[in-house]
Structure formats: structure tokens, C-alpha cells
Structure 1
């Protein structure tokens, strides 16, 4: 484990056992003032085939410092060497590690959020579904930045109608082929959230889309599906942002911080206190 101090954060790398190989987690923890912190698992972008923990640094640092929260950025396995389900299973193992180590980090394992950009947005919401289905980890909030959600690629914007997009349909197709080599996987709810008919019970969501992004339609479509399933959902489109630029966009990150401050606040008097029943979420959605 390597440790550094930066911008008032303790930043450490740790290796854990992943689904198919060891993976690296990067921990961002604010200097302790005695406050018990919420937890956020963060997943970098890169279309499932590339990307590193360094790519997540600005978002992870901002969320950790400004929420404040213990943020764990996940260096999940990449395709094509490690196709589906390696990445979501790595995500689940990271969540288990977080639960086991939260107390030692001055954090609350009963206040966990997930966040991610691009492929990381897919992994964040799919982890929320896996945790819901397996039942041993409770995730209370999800923030998705320009997420990749639709391997069928049937809900992309017209490339001729998006100004200067920085991601193209052919790039997305190559990424999905590498990540989901078997056609049947492209309908799996842990790989294709927009194909899932079981969205009820997922945690409250913030979905941020970018105006100059071919994927903004599928992101907003997913927000609509979550709302229809009774999941409290906020959706924002950032008019001056592009797909890759959204992850460092100050207004988008400010929205993520505000969302986690609201959704992961300490409720030890009732809903999230150990041994107490979690309150049912409200069924209306904020836009």
C-alpha cells in the first residue's frame, strides 16, 4: 500500500483479489476531524477497454474533498483480455472490501454511493443492481456521468445533429464488441441497464448528460426508465460539455457533490442506523 497526502486528502493504493486477477483500488480520505464519512465507489471511463485510476483523479478528489467522503476508485479489469462479467464482479468485490474496511477508515458502511463516467457509469448502476439482488450490501445513491448504457446502440443521437462530438458510434461499437463478445450478453441486465425490466429498488440517481455527446439520449432515456420504476431521479444536461469533458466539468462535479451530500447524509436517528429498517424511497422524481 502506497500513501501520499494531497490537497488535504490521504491517498492510498491497495491491491485486492478481483474476479479474474488482482485489481488496484485508490483510496481518497479527507483528514479526520472525527466526523464519520459516507463512502463513494468511483469507476473511471474508457469504454471498458482502457482507462486508469489516474483518469479518475479529478472526479475522485473533488467528491472526496467537497462532500466530504471516503472515495474508493476502482481499477477494474479491462476487455478484451477480461470481458464481461469481470468488470462488474470486480466492482462487487471492491464494494465488499469497502464494507469490511469502512470502520477502520472512519467511514460508515451503511452510507454507500456509487459513481462513474462513461463505462464507469455503466458499472456504477450495474453494481447497484447486483448489490440489490444479492442483498448483502446496501447502496443508497448512484451518480452517472455520460454513461454507456445501451450495447444495442439503438438510442444514440444522430451524428449529424450533434455539434463536434468527441465520441463516435464506431468507437462505441468496438468497445462493446470487446466487452461483450457473446451477443446474448448484450441483453444482460448487468451489462445493458436500458434493457433491464427490473429497475425498481435501485437507489436514487443523478444522471448527467452532455449536449455535445451522442450518448445523451440514452442517458436521459435511462433517467426516464428509472422514474417510471419509482426511483427518485435527477437528470441534468450540460449544454457546453462533451462526452469526455463531462468528467472534469466543474458544474457537473458540483452537482454530484450536492447529490451525495443530500443522499448520503447521516441519518443515524432512523433510516440508516444499523439494526433499523431502511425507509422506503419517495416515488416522485426531481428533474
Structure 2
């Protein structure tokens, strides 16, 4: 059962000239209903769809935390952006958030025309735990074969529950600590065996071929930048087209608001989109 309500149309944007239509929908998730927030430029239909997943280290975060990045992509790309309010740990441990993401992708595929999007042209992006979920969805889509993802963008993603590739905490002014990461992984992956599952621990996976092209943004002041860059190297080794960028003035939390990182991701996505949007009116 879905309910929809409108949040109105913005009076304008700081980046573009077109107003945005912003609506909210609730859909059935893995264990409970989850909210989606839809962003698109007014009067544009048949858009590719981007699913965006907020940060919060699996245990916190909301659609409001994704607002800045979701608006940016909706205003700078010809896409319908759908921000996903996935289930949070510890109440909803793995695989709840990932399965929520999969259900959102399947909903887009079935409802694309009604919401003004093209569910066959799907992008995914996320920050922190949201980057983990976006990447996990890429694995699920590849393996189940009923969802196609054209490209993915990961901003300071959490990718290694074993925490074997952390930067030296003494050398970086990180705003997320190894202790916080450990607590978050234990909340989301309470069983030790889950921390080796390829959908939860992509650094452990030996099957990276066939994943969609990836843009990975890392922050110099982030203990997680080493694992993200290690993962990028492994994707490249597996033949996955991958662009990795480290931002010297960014932190783990701030990279999702970094204008240069967002701009670089938008340009990456542009290279993987077909210009098929249709303007009406």
C-alpha cells in the first residue's frame, strides 16, 4: 500500500534556474514501510532515475540528511532523484537496509511511468553507510538479474567490516573514529558470519566483475579513505570502469556536501546517461 503527498515546488534553487517538484511516497520495505522523497525538475518526464542513500553509519540518518546531495543531482542532471529512507540498525540489522534498497529499485521499475521516470535507466549513489548500501545493491542487481544499474557513486563509503584497511587515526583529522565504525558494524552485522558476506563486505568479495562503473570519492581527513581506495583498485583490477578521487580538504561527514565532489560525480554520471528526457507542456 502506498500513500503520496506533495511537498510543493521550490521557489528556485541556488544552482539552477528550474524549480523542483518534490513529493514523498511510502512503499513496503523488507520489514516495514519506508519513505521515499522524489526530486525532479518541473515539466520533465521520462527521466533516468537515481536512488540516493543517506549516511549515518547504519544507525542514524534520514531523508533530511540527504537533502543537499539529492537536490544537487536533481538540479544538475537530467534525472529523477529518489532519496531512500531505509531501515536502520540495530532494530533492523542486515540485510534489511539492503533489501529496502532492492525493493525501492523494483518499485521504480514498476512505477516509472507513473512517477515520470524510466526505471530501466537506474543510477545509485550514497554516502557513508549509504555508499555501502548503494554498492550492495549493485551486487544484488547483478546477481538477481532483474534490476539494471548503469553506474554508481560512493562518497566515503563504509566497505570493510573487518576494518583491516583503516588509515592511521593519528595522521588524519577524521570526524569518524575506528571505535564508531566498529560499533556501527556490530549493530548492522550482529553475527560474525555476516561480516564476510560479499554484499556486506565487498573487500572480501572475489566476484567484482560485472558491477556497474563506479565513482568513488574519498576524503583525506577520513580513516576510511584507505579502504575505499583499496576497493577502487580491486574494481579496476576486475575490469570495472572506476574513477577514484581524494579530496584534500574534505572530511568523512562533509564530503557529501563538498561542491567539487558532487560536481565530479555529476560529470561521471553524465557520461553514463543517454539523452532521452522529454520535456512536456
Normalised by the length of structure 1, the TM-score is: 0.90
- In structure 2, the partner of 1:119 is 129
Matches within 5 A, 1:101-250: 101-162=111-172, 164-250=173-259
Which of 24, 29, 51 is the aligned partner of 1:18? 29
Provide the secondary structure at the position in 2 that maps to 1:140. Answer: strand
Ranges in structure 2 where 5+ consecutive residues have no aligned partner: 13-18
Provide the secondary structure at the position in 1 that maps to 2:219. Answer: strand
Which of 5, 9, 31 is the aligned partner of 1:5? 9
Q: Is residue 2:60 matched to residue 1:50?
A: yes
Q: 1:166-189 deviations in whole A, cap 9, x for unaligned?
A: 110000000001000000000001
- In structure 2, the partner of 1:72 is 82
**Partner Cα distance (2:241, 2:127) in 1:** 20
Q: CA offset at residue 109 of structure 1?
A: 1.9
Contact map agreement 2:49 2:121 (CA 8 A) in 1? yes
Q: CA offset at residue 245 of structure 1?
A: 0.4
Ranges in structure 1 where 5+ consecutive residues have no aligned partner: 269-287
RMSD: 1.2
Q: CA offset at residue 2 of structure 1?
A: 2.1
**Partner Cα distance (1:264, 1:139) in 2:** 11
**Partner Cα distance (2:221, 2:243) in 1:** 20
Which of 253, 260, 264 is the aligned partner of 1:255? 264
- In structure 1, the partner of 2:16 is none
Matches within 5 A, 1:271-286: none
Give the length in aligned residue pairs.
266
Q: Is residue 2:102 matched to residue 1:92?
A: yes
Q: CA offset at residue 68 of structure 1?
A: 2.2
Provide the secondary structure at the position in 2 that maps to 1:161. Answer: coil
Contact map agreement 1:112 1:264 (CA 8 A) in 2? no
**Partner Cα distance (1:267, 1:105) in 2:** 16
**Partner Cα distance (2:236, 2:59) in 1:** 30
Provide the secondary structure at the position in 2 that maps to 1:159. Answer: coil
Normalised by the length of structure 2, the TM-score is: 0.92
Q: 1:102-148 deviations in whole A, cap 9, x for unaligned?
A: 12233222211000000000000100110110001100100000000
Q: Is residue 2:43 matched to residue 1:32?
A: yes
Contact map agreement 1:113 1:264 (CA 8 A) in 2? no
Which of 261, 265, 274 is the aligned partner of 2:274? 265
Contact map agreement 1:76 1:91 (CA 8 A) in 2? yes
Provide the secondary structure at the position in 2 that maps to 1:263. Answer: coil
Contact map agreement 1:211 1:239 (CA 8 A) in 2? yes
